[in-house]
Amino acid sequence: MSVKVYETLTVECETGNYHTFCPISCVSWLYQKIEDSFFLVVGTKTCGYFLQNALGVMIFAEPRYAMAELEEGDISAQLNDYEGLKRLCIRIKKDRDPSVIIWIGTCTTEIIKMDLEGMAPKLEWEIGIPILVARANGLDYAFTQGEDTVLAAMAHRCPEPELFVRERKFTIQKQNYFAFHSIKKHELGEYANSPSLVLFGSLPSNVASQLNLELKRQSIKVSGWLPAQRYTDLPSLGDGVYVCGVNPFLSRTATTLIRRKKCELIGAPFPIGPDGTRAWIEKICPVFGVETQGLEEREERIWESLKDYLDLVRGKSVFFMGDNLLEVSLARFLIRCGMIVHEIGIPYMDKRYQAAELLLLQDTCIKMCVPIPRIVEKPDNSNQIQRIRELQPDLAITGMAHANPLEARGISTKWSVEFTFAQIHGFANARDVLELVTRPLRRQKNLEDLGRTTLVIKKNKFKMSQ
């Protein structure tokens, strides 16, 4: 089998299934991010077992998610789905009193055509709590796209800009502090007359604060995030509002913001690695008429701080099998670090939403004088295994299902799911990405050193016995 070398960016498409983690696992980070939410996963016992194993069983703390298990009667349409969900939601309201309940539809609800979207508005009116419906089934979506469907549903509930400002003013007027009122009024007036910037994508609060600070250094104020820390603090969206994504798997959310909310999307690479973070900021600043200050020096300082890791990865090769849709951004960063990327497998590729990232990948390859890697959408794993055998990469970044078989065949692996849960965005977290990448490489080197040491000891013992 010959290995193809590309001089221009080419995206191939195979016919493989989604060999990824289940997308309902998005609950694990979203319920922590949206602090006044409650997630109700509607599915079978299999979904419940998966959630228990993936999210862990918490004994001393009650998480804000639950499993609505469908029984045989539900699947055969002999039971009343509406009444069952109504009982659960009333209990959730009584026990937890959330600001929003989010129904997560699974594969089973899709197969039996369960009308969650039809039941939600009626039940929302009855119990007085907003109910959002997000499809996160593994038939249609890859691992991280569960978040995409949740944020797309949430975008519809964001207030219009004028209504948002009016409600904020009314809230402030209810407080009887004249000084506070006058300050806030001045801020609102200034804010209302300038373009708003809303960032979308779920990040830990400290990472979101870091990105806010990076933009603040360039004199750009972030008006809000989707999702917000609390559902009641959703940002205003509409004409004149600029939006920019921080994750490459949010194409459905981006489409909703453009078509339904009439926002202006800033097409930028994603802030992963020093190069990606700088490019992300450089795309945002011109939109607001701001000239960037000190970005080049800041990026160089970060690269200098990564020198110990760069020495480990330079010249090493990596193969992405495809799992979480972060593959293109991670590959671009690793190429910039001096690694050789044989192939970028990705479950789904929206070329329009990732256009800036793909262009940065191409520019990075030209800058580093390396061939542009093969990009394969919906890869066939059988074909990938054959290519891995041929290429013998130093590292394969893969889903959990393929890690052990590859390790048994002498290929060092790293679970792609670890990059999803790690803090990898912004200048400050570039080191964490390389820590994950180099861990299996360092382990392999230690094993080789141990093997050589053991061999020397055995030889010395043999000589002494003679």
Three-class SS of 10-44: CEEECCCCCCCCCHHHHHHHHHHHCCCEEEEEEEC
Q: Token digits for 209?
A: 């604060």
Per the CB < 8 A criterion, the answer to whether 151 and 202 are in contact is yes
Q: Token digits for 345?
A: 């497998």
Distance from the first to the final alpha carbon of the chain: 50
Separation CA 404–CA 53 (nearest Å): 19
Give one DSSP letter per residue of 384-413, joined into a string: HHHHHHHH--SEEEE-HHHHHHHHHTT--E
Amino acid present at 9: L
Antiparallel, parallel or unpaired: β 241-245 and 196-200: parallel
Long-range contacts at 183-188 (CB < 8 A, ≥ 24 apart): none
Q: Which residues pair with 6 in a beta bridge?
A: 372
- Residue 119, H or E segment: helix 116-127
Separation CA 242–CA 284 (nearest Å): 9
22 appears as a binding residue in the annotation: yes
- Residue 440: asked if its preceding bond is cis (omega within 30°), the reply is no
Separation CA 42–CA 258 (nearest Å): 29
337 appears as a binding residue in the annotation: no
Helix axes 355-368, 273-284, angle to 10 degrees: 130
Per the CB < 8 A criterion, the answer to whether 200 and 274 are in contact is no
47 appears as a binding residue in the annotation: yes
In the block, tokens 């039809």 appear at 118
- The closest alpha carbon to 244, from 229, 228, 225, 260, belongs to 225
Distances (CA, A) of 73 to 76, 79, 80, 84, 412: 5, 5, 9, 12, 47
Annotation: binding site: 22, 47, 107
Annotation: binding site for [4Fe-4S] cluster: 22, 47, 107
